[in-house]
Structure 1
Amino acid sequence: MSAPAGFPWGEVMAFGLGRLAWPPEHFWAATPREIAAALRAHQAPQRGPAPERGALAALMDAYPDATEPRGCHDGR
């Protein structure tokens, strides 16, 4: 029977300190669950490219930001 594989510290440190650019104090303060959640977020499928400038402008014209916060239309 073979021994179980050791924890992949090299890969985890490369991800946290390299890819995420966490400072060491943040990396070492993170729990394994937090590091795993960050890894899952980076492995999520991409949603596609950002819209072109013209398409974004059309969306902004069609759906402008509200000038007043929602729920503040009580006449005061």
Structure 2
Amino acid sequence: MSRFDWAALLRCGVRQCGLRPAEFWVLTPVEFGVLIGADEAGPSMTRDGFAALMAAYPDAGTKGAGDG
């Protein structure tokens, strides 16, 4: 298992986002992601995209299929 690089995230928050360390540590992961642009990964999956995914990987024959 690899270690999570907290120091790199803190450097990013302080140097690139202009946060003070105390401000960095009270952010939620979602808030920090917004600050660094991680929320701009692209559009959400469309209904057609989801249908294609379900067709490619059907649940038929698995335990619990069709129960929910």
Q: Normalized against structure 2, the TM-score is what?
A: 0.48
Q: Which structure shows the bigger proportion of residues in helix conformation? A: 2
Report the structure number with the largest CA radius of gyration.
1
